[in-house]
Chain A
Amino acid sequence: MSARLRGRVIVVTGAGRGQGEAEVKRLAEEGAQVIACDLEPPSSPGSVHGAALDVANPADWADLADRIAQGFGRVDGLINNAAVTSRFRLPEVSLQEWNRVLAINLTGPLLGIQTLLPLMPEGASIVNVGSIAALNGHYTAAYTASKWGLRGLTQTAAMELGARGIRVNAVHPGYIDTPMTATAPAAFLEANLQVTPLGRAGEPEEVAELMVFLMSDESRFINGAEITIDGGQVAGGLATLMSNAARGAGK
Protein backbone atom coordinates (compact mmCIF):
# COMPACT_ATOMS: atom_id res chain seq x y z
CA MET A 1 0.00 0.00 0.00
CA SER A 2 1.30 3.42 -0.90
CA ALA A 3 1.10 6.09 1.79
CA ARG A 4 0.99 9.47 0.11
CA LEU A 5 -0.75 10.94 3.20
CA ARG A 6 1.06 9.05 5.95
CA GLY A 7 0.34 10.54 9.38
CA ARG A 8 -1.71 13.49 8.14
CA VAL A 9 -4.78 14.54 10.09
CA ILE A 10 -7.54 15.43 7.64
CA VAL A 11 -11.07 16.67 8.36
CA VAL A 12 -13.82 15.85 5.83
CA THR A 13 -17.31 17.29 6.17
CA GLY A 14 -20.38 15.64 4.70
CA ALA A 15 -18.48 12.38 5.12
CA GLY A 16 -21.44 10.09 5.78
CA ARG A 17 -22.20 9.14 2.21
CA GLY A 18 -21.57 9.83 -1.44
CA GLN A 19 -18.54 11.82 -2.41
CA GLY A 20 -17.45 12.50 1.18
CA GLU A 21 -17.62 8.82 2.07
CA ALA A 22 -15.46 7.89 -0.92
CA GLU A 23 -12.94 10.59 0.00
CA VAL A 24 -12.64 9.33 3.56
CA LYS A 25 -11.95 5.81 2.32
CA ARG A 26 -9.20 6.86 -0.13
CA LEU A 27 -7.54 9.29 2.30
CA ALA A 28 -7.40 6.57 4.95
CA GLU A 29 -5.98 4.08 2.42
CA GLU A 30 -3.15 6.56 1.78
CA GLY A 31 -2.25 6.63 5.47
CA ALA A 32 -4.18 9.64 6.79
CA GLN A 33 -5.98 9.91 10.11
CA VAL A 34 -9.40 11.06 8.89
CA ILE A 35 -11.92 12.95 10.99
CA ALA A 36 -15.13 12.06 9.17
CA CYS A 37 -17.86 14.56 10.03
CA ASP A 38 -21.56 14.52 9.32
CA LEU A 39 -24.87 15.30 11.04
CA GLU A 40 -24.96 11.66 12.14
CA PRO A 41 -21.38 10.62 13.04
CA PRO A 42 -20.08 8.16 10.41
CA SER A 43 -18.63 4.83 11.49
CA SER A 44 -15.00 4.70 12.62
CA PRO A 45 -13.08 1.82 11.06
CA GLY A 46 -9.29 1.85 11.51
CA SER A 47 -7.84 5.33 11.09
CA VAL A 48 -11.25 6.91 10.44
CA HIS A 49 -12.76 8.82 13.34
CA GLY A 50 -16.45 9.68 13.03
CA ALA A 51 -17.68 12.95 14.50
CA ALA A 52 -21.05 14.71 14.68
CA LEU A 53 -21.02 18.11 12.99
CA ASP A 54 -23.60 20.54 11.69
CA VAL A 55 -21.37 22.74 9.51
CA ALA A 56 -23.71 25.71 9.97
CA ASN A 57 -23.36 25.60 13.76
CA PRO A 58 -20.34 27.47 15.19
CA ALA A 59 -20.62 25.61 18.52
CA ASP A 60 -20.27 22.27 16.73
CA TRP A 61 -17.09 23.48 15.03
CA ALA A 62 -15.67 24.70 18.36
CA ASP A 63 -16.38 21.31 19.96
CA LEU A 64 -14.74 19.55 17.03
CA ALA A 65 -11.65 21.75 17.23
CA ASP A 66 -11.31 21.05 20.96
CA ARG A 67 -11.52 17.29 20.44
CA ILE A 68 -9.05 17.33 17.56
CA ALA A 69 -6.64 19.49 19.59
CA GLN A 70 -6.75 16.94 22.41
CA GLY A 71 -6.64 13.84 20.24
CA PHE A 72 -4.25 14.85 17.46
CA GLY A 73 -2.87 18.31 18.24
CA ARG A 74 -3.15 19.55 14.66
CA VAL A 75 -5.06 19.59 11.38
CA ASP A 76 -3.12 19.05 8.12
CA GLY A 77 -6.10 19.07 5.79
CA LEU A 78 -9.71 20.22 5.59
CA ILE A 79 -12.12 19.22 2.84
CA ASN A 80 -15.25 21.35 2.95
CA ASN A 81 -17.41 18.82 1.16
CA ALA A 82 -20.74 19.12 2.99
CA ALA A 83 -23.44 20.82 0.94
CA VAL A 84 -27.13 20.71 0.20
CA THR A 85 -28.80 21.09 -3.15
CA SER A 86 -31.84 23.28 -3.66
CA ARG A 87 -33.84 23.21 -6.84
CA PHE A 88 -36.18 26.16 -6.42
CA ARG A 89 -36.32 28.54 -9.35
CA LEU A 90 -35.48 32.18 -8.80
CA PRO A 91 -39.07 33.44 -8.36
CA GLU A 92 -39.92 30.61 -5.93
CA VAL A 93 -36.94 30.45 -3.60
CA SER A 94 -38.00 31.62 -0.11
CA LEU A 95 -35.76 33.73 2.07
CA GLN A 96 -35.69 30.88 4.58
CA GLU A 97 -34.51 28.43 1.92
CA TRP A 98 -31.94 30.92 0.58
CA ASN A 99 -30.51 31.42 4.07
CA ARG A 100 -30.46 27.69 4.78
CA VAL A 101 -28.48 26.92 1.60
CA LEU A 102 -26.00 29.76 2.13
CA ALA A 103 -25.53 28.77 5.79
CA ILE A 104 -24.55 25.20 4.91
CA ASN A 105 -22.75 25.68 1.57
CA LEU A 106 -20.93 28.97 2.20
CA THR A 107 -20.93 29.91 5.90
CA GLY A 108 -20.08 26.31 6.82
CA PRO A 109 -16.72 26.36 4.97
CA LEU A 110 -15.93 29.80 6.45
CA LEU A 111 -16.57 28.50 9.99
CA GLY A 112 -14.48 25.42 9.31
CA ILE A 113 -11.51 27.43 8.08
CA GLN A 114 -11.74 29.97 10.91
CA THR A 115 -12.16 27.39 13.65
CA LEU A 116 -9.49 24.93 12.53
CA LEU A 117 -6.91 27.50 11.39
CA PRO A 118 -5.19 27.71 14.80
CA LEU A 119 -4.50 23.97 14.52
CA MET A 120 -3.05 24.16 11.01
CA PRO A 121 0.73 24.10 10.57
CA GLU A 122 2.62 25.38 7.53
CA GLY A 123 1.97 22.98 4.67
CA ALA A 124 -1.69 22.40 5.53
CA SER A 125 -4.14 22.12 2.64
CA ILE A 126 -7.77 23.23 2.40
CA VAL A 127 -10.12 22.22 -0.40
CA ASN A 128 -13.54 23.75 -0.91
CA VAL A 129 -15.89 21.68 -3.01
CA GLY A 130 -17.57 24.01 -5.45
CA SER A 131 -19.49 22.91 -8.51
CA ILE A 132 -19.54 23.62 -12.21
CA ALA A 133 -22.60 25.67 -11.19
CA ALA A 134 -20.01 28.10 -9.81
CA LEU A 135 -18.56 28.63 -13.30
CA ASN A 136 -21.66 29.69 -15.20
CA GLY A 137 -25.33 30.45 -14.68
CA HIS A 138 -27.37 27.55 -13.34
CA TYR A 139 -31.08 27.16 -12.69
CA THR A 140 -30.77 26.65 -8.95
CA ALA A 141 -30.47 30.21 -7.66
CA ALA A 142 -29.53 29.61 -4.01
CA TYR A 143 -27.20 26.69 -4.76
CA THR A 144 -25.51 28.55 -7.61
CA ALA A 145 -25.02 31.70 -5.54
CA SER A 146 -23.62 29.68 -2.64
CA LYS A 147 -21.07 27.97 -4.89
CA TRP A 148 -20.03 31.24 -6.58
CA GLY A 149 -19.58 32.69 -3.10
CA LEU A 150 -17.41 29.74 -2.16
CA ARG A 151 -15.13 30.56 -5.11
CA GLY A 152 -14.63 34.04 -3.74
CA LEU A 153 -13.95 32.72 -0.26
CA THR A 154 -11.42 30.29 -1.74
CA GLN A 155 -9.48 32.97 -3.57
CA THR A 156 -9.40 35.35 -0.61
CA ALA A 157 -8.31 32.51 1.66
CA ALA A 158 -5.60 31.53 -0.84
CA MET A 159 -4.25 35.06 -0.62
CA GLU A 160 -4.52 35.52 3.13
CA LEU A 161 -3.41 32.08 4.26
CA GLY A 162 -0.69 31.68 1.63
CA ALA A 163 1.66 33.73 3.77
CA ARG A 164 1.33 31.04 6.46
CA GLY A 165 2.16 28.35 3.92
CA ILE A 166 -1.42 27.10 3.93
CA ARG A 167 -2.92 26.30 0.53
CA VAL A 168 -6.58 26.76 -0.38
CA ASN A 169 -8.05 25.43 -3.62
CA ALA A 170 -11.47 24.80 -5.16
CA VAL A 171 -12.63 21.63 -6.89
CA HIS A 172 -15.59 21.94 -9.24
CA PRO A 173 -17.29 18.60 -9.92
CA GLY A 174 -19.68 18.12 -12.78
CA TYR A 175 -22.30 15.39 -12.64
CA ILE A 176 -21.03 12.85 -10.11
CA ASP A 177 -23.09 9.74 -9.33
CA THR A 178 -23.98 10.39 -5.68
CA PRO A 179 -27.06 10.19 -3.44
CA MET A 180 -27.37 13.98 -3.83
CA THR A 181 -27.54 13.95 -7.62
CA ALA A 182 -29.76 10.86 -7.49
CA THR A 183 -32.50 13.07 -6.05
CA ALA A 184 -32.64 15.02 -9.32
CA PRO A 185 -35.18 14.13 -12.01
CA ALA A 186 -33.98 11.49 -14.48
CA ALA A 187 -34.19 14.10 -17.24
CA PHE A 188 -31.54 16.12 -15.40
CA LEU A 189 -29.04 13.27 -15.68
CA GLU A 190 -29.94 12.71 -19.32
CA ALA A 191 -29.44 16.40 -20.11
CA ASN A 192 -26.13 16.41 -18.27
CA LEU A 193 -24.82 13.44 -20.21
CA GLN A 194 -25.70 15.17 -23.48
CA VAL A 195 -23.39 18.05 -22.59
CA THR A 196 -20.60 15.96 -21.08
CA PRO A 197 -17.95 15.12 -23.68
CA LEU A 198 -16.91 11.91 -21.87
CA GLY A 199 -20.58 10.88 -22.07
CA ARG A 200 -20.87 9.49 -18.56
CA ALA A 201 -21.32 10.58 -14.95
CA GLY A 202 -18.25 10.72 -12.74
CA GLU A 203 -17.75 8.39 -9.81
CA PRO A 204 -17.16 9.59 -6.25
CA GLU A 205 -13.94 7.54 -6.25
CA GLU A 206 -12.63 9.69 -9.13
CA VAL A 207 -13.13 12.86 -7.12
CA ALA A 208 -11.45 11.14 -4.18
CA GLU A 209 -8.27 10.64 -6.25
CA LEU A 210 -8.10 14.39 -6.89
CA MET A 211 -8.50 15.00 -3.15
CA VAL A 212 -5.57 12.70 -2.36
CA PHE A 213 -3.42 14.74 -4.75
CA LEU A 214 -4.56 18.08 -3.29
CA MET A 215 -4.14 16.91 0.32
CA SER A 216 -0.59 15.69 -0.38
CA ASP A 217 2.68 17.58 -0.77
CA GLU A 218 2.55 16.69 -4.47
CA SER A 219 0.43 19.83 -4.89
CA ARG A 220 2.54 22.02 -2.61
CA PHE A 221 2.74 24.98 -5.05
CA ILE A 222 -0.94 24.81 -6.09
CA ASN A 223 -2.87 27.55 -4.31
CA GLY A 224 -6.03 29.38 -5.35
CA ALA A 225 -6.58 26.97 -8.24
CA GLU A 226 -9.99 26.06 -9.62
CA ILE A 227 -10.01 22.49 -10.81
CA THR A 228 -12.88 21.12 -12.85
CA ILE A 229 -13.61 17.40 -12.68
CA ASP A 230 -16.53 17.26 -15.05
CA GLY A 231 -15.80 14.99 -17.99
CA GLY A 232 -15.13 18.10 -20.08
CA GLN A 233 -18.54 19.72 -19.59
CA VAL A 234 -17.33 23.27 -18.99
CA ALA A 235 -14.64 23.01 -21.66
CA GLY A 236 -16.74 21.59 -24.46
CA GLY A 237 -20.22 20.67 -23.34
CA LEU A 238 -22.14 23.00 -25.60
CA ALA A 239 -20.05 22.04 -28.60
CA THR A 240 -20.67 18.37 -27.80
CA LEU A 241 -24.42 18.91 -27.81
CA MET A 242 -24.25 20.66 -31.18
CA SER A 243 -21.85 18.10 -32.59
CA ASN A 244 -24.10 15.22 -31.62
CA ALA A 245 -27.14 17.05 -33.01
CA ALA A 246 -25.34 17.57 -36.31
CA ARG A 247 -24.32 13.90 -36.37
CA GLY A 248 -27.95 12.91 -35.74
CA ALA A 249 -28.93 15.08 -38.71
CA GLY A 250 -26.46 13.17 -40.88
CA LYS A 251 -23.78 15.89 -40.92
Chain B
Amino acid sequence: MSGRLQGKVALISGTARGQGAAARERFVAEGATVFGGDLNTSTGEAHLDVTDEASVAAWIQRAIDAHDRIDILYNNAGAVRFAAVDDQSLEDWRFTLAAELDSVFLTCKRAWPHLKASRGVILNVGSTAGLTGSMTNQRAAHSASKGGVIALTRQLAAEGAPHGIRVNSISPGMIATPGARENLLAPHHPMRAIADAIPLGRLGTEQDVTPAAVFLCSDEAAYITGANLVIDGGWSVVLPGAQQMKENE
Protein backbone atom coordinates (compact mmCIF):
# COMPACT_ATOMS: atom_id res chain seq x y z
CA MET B 1 0.00 0.00 0.00
CA SER B 2 1.42 3.34 -1.03
CA GLY B 3 -0.01 5.45 1.80
CA ARG B 4 0.04 8.81 0.05
CA LEU B 5 -2.11 10.27 2.85
CA GLN B 6 -0.47 8.26 5.64
CA GLY B 7 -1.04 9.70 9.10
CA LYS B 8 -3.38 12.48 7.99
CA VAL B 9 -6.76 13.16 9.60
CA ALA B 10 -9.27 13.97 6.87
CA LEU B 11 -12.73 15.42 7.40
CA ILE B 12 -15.05 14.66 4.50
CA SER B 13 -18.64 15.86 4.38
CA GLY B 14 -21.41 13.96 2.63
CA THR B 15 -19.89 10.51 3.12
CA ALA B 16 -23.11 8.48 3.31
CA ARG B 17 -23.15 7.69 -0.40
CA GLY B 18 -21.93 8.62 -3.86
CA GLN B 19 -18.81 10.73 -4.25
CA GLY B 20 -18.27 11.14 -0.52
CA ALA B 21 -18.45 7.40 0.13
CA ALA B 22 -16.03 6.74 -2.73
CA ALA B 23 -13.66 9.41 -1.39
CA ARG B 24 -13.74 7.92 2.10
CA GLU B 25 -12.81 4.51 0.77
CA ARG B 26 -9.94 5.85 -1.33
CA PHE B 27 -8.58 8.14 1.41
CA VAL B 28 -8.57 5.25 3.89
CA ALA B 29 -6.77 3.07 1.33
CA GLU B 30 -4.10 5.79 1.09
CA GLY B 31 -3.55 5.74 4.84
CA ALA B 32 -5.73 8.62 6.03
CA THR B 33 -7.94 8.53 9.10
CA VAL B 34 -11.29 9.70 7.77
CA PHE B 35 -13.91 11.41 9.92
CA GLY B 36 -17.05 11.59 7.81
CA GLY B 37 -20.32 13.36 8.27
CA ASP B 38 -23.73 13.43 6.66
CA LEU B 39 -27.36 14.41 7.16
CA ASN B 40 -28.09 10.74 6.57
CA THR B 41 -26.80 8.86 9.61
CA SER B 42 -28.28 5.49 8.68
CA THR B 43 -24.89 4.18 7.59
CA GLY B 44 -23.24 5.22 10.84
CA GLU B 45 -21.92 8.61 9.76
CA ALA B 46 -21.56 11.38 12.31
CA HIS B 47 -24.50 13.78 12.02
CA LEU B 48 -23.73 16.89 10.00
CA ASP B 49 -25.99 19.59 8.59
CA VAL B 50 -23.56 21.74 6.60
CA THR B 51 -26.07 24.61 6.44
CA ASP B 52 -26.24 24.92 10.22
CA GLU B 53 -23.32 26.57 12.01
CA ALA B 54 -23.98 24.83 15.31
CA SER B 55 -24.06 21.46 13.60
CA VAL B 56 -20.82 22.22 11.77
CA ALA B 57 -19.16 23.38 14.98
CA ALA B 58 -20.27 20.21 16.79
CA TRP B 59 -18.98 18.03 13.94
CA ILE B 60 -15.57 19.72 13.97
CA GLN B 61 -15.42 19.36 17.76
CA ARG B 62 -16.25 15.65 17.58
CA ALA B 63 -13.43 15.18 15.07
CA ILE B 64 -10.98 17.01 17.32
CA ASP B 65 -12.13 15.04 20.37
CA ALA B 66 -11.56 11.82 18.46
CA HIS B 67 -8.34 12.60 16.59
CA ASP B 68 -6.82 15.79 18.11
CA ARG B 69 -6.12 17.37 14.74
CA ILE B 70 -7.42 18.12 11.25
CA ASP B 71 -5.06 17.89 8.28
CA ILE B 72 -7.58 17.78 5.45
CA LEU B 73 -11.04 19.30 5.02
CA TYR B 74 -12.82 17.98 1.92
CA ASN B 75 -16.08 19.89 1.41
CA ASN B 76 -17.95 17.32 -0.60
CA ALA B 77 -21.51 17.68 0.71
CA GLY B 78 -24.11 19.65 -1.17
CA ALA B 79 -27.69 19.67 -2.38
CA VAL B 80 -29.37 21.45 -5.23
CA ARG B 81 -32.80 22.40 -6.55
CA PHE B 82 -32.99 23.06 -10.27
CA ALA B 83 -35.58 25.28 -11.93
CA ALA B 84 -35.88 27.83 -14.71
CA VAL B 85 -35.06 31.26 -13.34
CA ASP B 86 -38.63 32.53 -13.58
CA ASP B 87 -39.98 29.40 -11.91
CA GLN B 88 -37.50 29.18 -9.05
CA SER B 89 -38.80 30.26 -5.68
CA LEU B 90 -36.62 32.39 -3.47
CA GLU B 91 -36.84 29.57 -0.96
CA ASP B 92 -35.32 27.08 -3.42
CA TRP B 93 -32.65 29.58 -4.48
CA ARG B 94 -31.69 30.03 -0.83
CA PHE B 95 -31.79 26.27 -0.21
CA THR B 96 -29.22 25.76 -2.97
CA LEU B 97 -26.98 28.64 -1.94
CA ALA B 98 -27.10 27.46 1.69
CA ALA B 99 -26.26 23.85 0.84
CA GLU B 100 -23.57 24.58 -1.74
CA LEU B 101 -21.96 27.86 -0.65
CA ASP B 102 -22.84 28.73 2.96
CA SER B 103 -21.79 25.17 3.74
CA VAL B 104 -18.25 25.72 2.47
CA PHE B 105 -17.92 28.99 4.35
CA LEU B 106 -19.09 27.39 7.59
CA THR B 107 -16.84 24.34 7.55
CA CYS B 108 -13.82 26.39 6.45
CA LYS B 109 -14.46 28.96 9.16
CA ARG B 110 -14.84 26.38 11.91
CA ALA B 111 -11.93 24.20 10.79
CA TRP B 112 -9.59 27.14 10.09
CA PRO B 113 -7.88 27.32 13.53
CA HIS B 114 -7.16 23.58 13.40
CA LEU B 115 -5.87 23.82 9.82
CA LYS B 116 -3.58 26.68 10.89
CA ALA B 117 -2.18 24.43 13.60
CA SER B 118 -1.53 21.56 11.21
CA ARG B 119 -0.65 23.64 8.12
CA GLY B 120 -3.45 21.71 6.50
CA VAL B 121 -5.30 21.63 3.22
CA ILE B 122 -8.85 22.34 2.04
CA LEU B 123 -10.46 20.80 -1.01
CA ASN B 124 -13.68 22.39 -2.24
CA VAL B 125 -15.99 21.09 -4.91
CA GLY B 126 -16.83 23.56 -7.66
CA SER B 127 -18.39 22.45 -10.90
CA THR B 128 -18.32 23.17 -14.59
CA ALA B 129 -21.60 24.90 -13.67
CA GLY B 130 -19.45 27.57 -12.04
CA LEU B 131 -17.58 28.15 -15.29
CA THR B 132 -20.12 27.90 -18.10
CA GLY B 133 -23.80 28.43 -18.73
CA SER B 134 -25.98 25.53 -19.83
CA MET B 135 -28.81 25.33 -22.36
CA THR B 136 -29.78 21.81 -21.28
CA ASN B 137 -29.98 22.37 -17.54
CA GLN B 138 -31.75 25.27 -15.91
CA ARG B 139 -29.57 25.87 -12.94
CA ALA B 140 -29.23 29.54 -11.99
CA ALA B 141 -28.81 28.90 -8.27
CA HIS B 142 -26.37 26.02 -8.81
CA SER B 143 -24.27 28.06 -11.25
CA ALA B 144 -24.17 30.98 -8.84
CA SER B 145 -23.22 28.85 -5.85
CA LYS B 146 -20.51 26.92 -7.68
CA GLY B 147 -19.06 30.09 -9.19
CA GLY B 148 -19.03 31.34 -5.63
CA VAL B 149 -17.17 28.25 -4.41
CA ILE B 150 -14.46 28.73 -7.05
CA ALA B 151 -14.04 32.40 -6.10
CA LEU B 152 -14.09 31.57 -2.39
CA THR B 153 -11.38 28.99 -3.01
CA ARG B 154 -9.09 31.60 -4.57
CA GLN B 155 -9.68 34.03 -1.72
CA LEU B 156 -9.06 31.41 0.97
CA ALA B 157 -5.90 30.34 -0.87
CA ALA B 158 -4.63 33.90 -0.51
CA GLU B 159 -5.71 34.17 3.15
CA GLY B 160 -4.47 30.71 4.03
CA ALA B 161 -1.03 30.86 2.46
CA PRO B 162 0.62 32.87 5.27
CA HIS B 163 -0.52 30.10 7.63
CA GLY B 164 0.65 27.30 5.35
CA ILE B 165 -2.93 26.33 4.48
CA ARG B 166 -3.47 25.28 0.87
CA VAL B 167 -6.96 25.66 -0.66
CA ASN B 168 -7.96 24.20 -4.03
CA SER B 169 -11.12 23.17 -5.81
CA ILE B 170 -12.03 20.38 -8.16
CA SER B 171 -14.74 21.05 -10.70
CA PRO B 172 -16.40 17.89 -11.95
CA GLY B 173 -18.46 17.93 -15.11
CA MET B 174 -21.18 15.34 -15.57
CA ILE B 175 -20.45 12.58 -13.07
CA ALA B 176 -22.93 9.72 -12.80
CA THR B 177 -23.35 9.87 -9.02
CA PRO B 178 -26.54 8.67 -7.30
CA GLY B 179 -27.64 12.31 -6.99
CA ALA B 180 -27.15 12.95 -10.71
CA ARG B 181 -28.97 9.76 -11.62
CA GLU B 182 -32.00 10.99 -9.68
CA ASN B 183 -32.29 14.30 -11.53
CA LEU B 184 -30.06 15.22 -14.48
CA LEU B 185 -29.64 11.66 -15.72
CA ALA B 186 -33.24 10.59 -15.13
CA PRO B 187 -35.17 9.27 -18.13
CA HIS B 188 -36.28 11.98 -20.55
CA HIS B 189 -33.99 14.67 -19.10
CA PRO B 190 -32.11 16.34 -22.01
CA MET B 191 -28.83 16.02 -20.06
CA ARG B 192 -28.87 12.27 -20.70
CA ALA B 193 -27.62 12.94 -24.21
CA ILE B 194 -24.66 15.09 -23.23
CA ALA B 195 -22.14 12.25 -23.26
CA ASP B 196 -22.01 12.84 -27.01
CA ALA B 197 -20.77 16.37 -26.37
CA ILE B 198 -17.94 15.26 -24.08
CA PRO B 199 -14.68 14.85 -26.03
CA LEU B 200 -13.81 11.66 -24.14
CA GLY B 201 -17.24 10.34 -25.14
CA ARG B 202 -18.57 9.25 -21.76
CA LEU B 203 -19.89 10.45 -18.43
CA GLY B 204 -17.57 10.44 -15.46
CA THR B 205 -17.70 8.12 -12.48
CA GLU B 206 -16.87 8.64 -8.81
CA GLN B 207 -13.59 6.81 -9.47
CA ASP B 208 -12.63 9.47 -12.01
CA VAL B 209 -12.78 12.11 -9.28
CA THR B 210 -11.32 10.53 -6.14
CA PRO B 211 -7.71 10.23 -7.41
CA ALA B 212 -7.62 13.99 -8.06
CA ALA B 213 -8.84 14.58 -4.52
CA VAL B 214 -6.10 12.31 -3.15
CA PHE B 215 -3.45 14.12 -5.20
CA LEU B 216 -4.50 17.65 -4.21
CA CYS B 217 -4.83 16.70 -0.51
CA SER B 218 -1.42 14.99 -0.45
CA ASP B 219 1.98 16.60 0.04
CA GLU B 220 2.65 15.87 -3.64
CA ALA B 221 0.66 19.04 -4.39
CA ALA B 222 2.63 21.21 -1.94
CA TYR B 223 3.03 24.10 -4.43
CA ILE B 224 -0.54 24.00 -5.72
CA THR B 225 -2.94 26.41 -4.06
CA GLY B 226 -5.79 28.48 -5.47
CA ALA B 227 -6.11 26.06 -8.39
CA ASN B 228 -9.37 24.80 -9.85
CA LEU B 229 -8.93 21.36 -11.42
CA VAL B 230 -11.64 20.61 -13.96
CA ILE B 231 -12.55 16.91 -14.28
CA ASP B 232 -15.00 16.79 -17.16
CA GLY B 233 -13.52 14.75 -20.01
CA GLY B 234 -12.96 17.99 -21.94
CA TRP B 235 -16.62 19.05 -21.87
CA SER B 236 -16.06 22.68 -20.91
CA VAL B 237 -13.31 23.42 -23.45
CA VAL B 238 -15.43 22.75 -26.54
CA LEU B 239 -17.99 25.09 -27.99
CA PRO B 240 -21.46 23.56 -28.20
CA GLY B 241 -21.62 21.75 -31.52
CA ALA B 242 -17.87 21.87 -32.21
CA GLN B 243 -17.53 18.12 -31.68
CA GLN B 244 -20.44 17.40 -34.03
CA MET B 245 -19.01 19.75 -36.68
CA LYS B 246 -15.73 17.88 -36.57
CA GLU B 247 -17.46 14.51 -36.94
CA ASN B 248 -19.56 15.71 -39.83
CA GLU B 249 -16.55 16.82 -41.83
Task: List the interface of chain A (C-beta within 8 A of B).
Answer: 2, 4, 155, 158-163, 165, 167, 174, 197-199, 202-203, 206-207, 209-210, 212-213, 216, 218-237, 239-240, 243
Least distance between B112 CB and chain A CB atoms (Å): 16
In angstroms, Cα B221 to Cα A182, docked, is: 23
Q: Of B199, B205, B224, which is within 8 A of A159 by CB? A: B199
Chain B 207-234 interface residues, beta-carbon cutoff 8 Å to A: 208-209, 211-212, 214-215, 220-227, 229-234
Q: Which residue of B has the minimal Cβ distance to A161?
A: B199
- With A197-B162, A232-B158, A236-B155 as contacts: A221 and B200 at CB distance below 8 Å: yes
Residue contacts A-B, CB under 8 angstroms, 21 given: A158-B199, A159-B199, A159-B237, A159-B246, A163-B199, A163-B201, A167-B234, A210-B220, A213-B220, A221-B231, A222-B212, A224-B199, A224-B230, A224-B237, A224-B238, A228-B227, A232-B225, A233-B226, A235-B227, A236-B226, A240-B158
Residues of A contacting B208 in the complex (Cβ-Cβ under 8 angstroms): 220-222
In angstroms, Cα B153 to Cα A73, docked, is: 43
Q: Which residue of B has the minimal Cβ distance to A197?
A: B161
Residues of A contacting B155 in the complex (Cβ-Cβ under 8 angstroms): 236, 239
Q: Is B157 at the interface (CB under 8 A from chain A)?
A: yes
In angstroms, Cα B196 to Cα A162, docked, is: 11
B contacts with A, residue count (CB < 8 A): 45
A203 touches B231 (CB 8 A): no
In angstroms, Cα B170 to Cα A227, docked, is: 10
A236 touches B157 (CB 8 A): yes
B225 touches A235 (CB 8 A): yes
A162 touches B200 (CB 8 A): yes
B229 touches A162 (CB 8 A): no
B226 touches A221 (CB 8 A): no
Q: Which residue of A has the minimal Cβ distance to B238?
A: A159
In angstroms, Cα B220 to Cα A203, docked, is: 11
A198 touches B2 (CB 8 A): no
A197 touches B231 (CB 8 A): no
Q: Which residue of A has the minimal Cβ distance to B155?
A: A236
Q: Of A2, A165, A207, A221, which is within 8 A of B232 by CB? A: A221
Q: Of A161, A213, A226, A233, which is within 8 A of B215 by CB? A: A213
B200 touches A202 (CB 8 A): no
Residues of B contacting A161 in the complex (Cβ-Cβ under 8 angstroms): 199
Q: Of A155, A165, A203, A228, which is within 8 A of B200 by CB? A: A165
B204, B224, B235, B247 pick with most chain A CB within 10 angstroms: B224
- With A2-B2, A236-B154, A240-B158 as contacts: A206 and B223 at CB distance below 8 Å: yes
B226 touches A197 (CB 8 A): yes
Task: List 14 additional A-B contacts (Cβ < 8 Å) besides A163-B199, A236-B161.
Answer: A159-B199, A197-B225, A197-B226, A199-B162, A221-B232, A223-B234, A225-B231, A226-B230, A229-B224, A232-B157, A232-B225, A235-B154, A236-B157, A237-B158
Least distance between A34 CB and chain B CB atoms (Å): 19
Residues of A contacting B161 in the complex (Cβ-Cβ under 8 angstroms): 197-199, 231-232, 236, 240
Total A-B residue contacts, Cβ distance less than 8 Å: 149
Least distance between A243 CB and chain B CB atoms (Å): 8
In angstroms, Cα B226 to Cα A239, docked, is: 13
Residues of B contacting A235 in the complex (Cβ-Cβ under 8 angstroms): 153-154, 157-158, 225-227
In angstroms, Cα B225 to Cα A202, docked, is: 12
A162, A203, A243 pick with most chain B CB within 10 angstroms: A162
A165, A198, A207, A234 pick with most chain B CB within 10 angstroms: A198
B226 touches A218 (CB 8 A): no
Q: Which residue of A has the minimal Cβ distance to B164?
A: A198
Q: Which residue of B has the minimal Cβ distance to A243?
A: B158
Q: Which 9 A-B pairs have the closest CB atoms?
A: A235-B226, A162-B199, A236-B158, A197-B161, A218-B211, A221-B208, A224-B237, A223-B234, A209-B220
In angstroms, Cα B212 to Cα A213, docked, is: 8
B199, B201, B230 pick with most chain A CB within 10 angstroms: B199
Residues of B contacting A219 in the complex (Cβ-Cβ under 8 angstroms): 211-212
Residues of B contacting A212 in the complex (Cβ-Cβ under 8 angstroms): 220
Residues of A contacting B227 in the complex (Cβ-Cβ under 8 angstroms): 227-230, 235
In angstroms, Cα B199 to Cα A223, docked, is: 8
B246 touches A160 (CB 8 A): yes
In angstroms, Cα B205 to Cα A221, docked, is: 9
A210 touches B221 (CB 8 A): yes
- With A197-B158, A198-B161 as contacts: A158 and B224 at CB distance below 8 Å: no
In angstroms, Cα B121 to Cα A232, docked, is: 13
Q: Is B98 at the interface (CB under 8 A from chain A)?
A: no
Q: Which residue of A has the minimal Cβ distance to B175?
A: A221
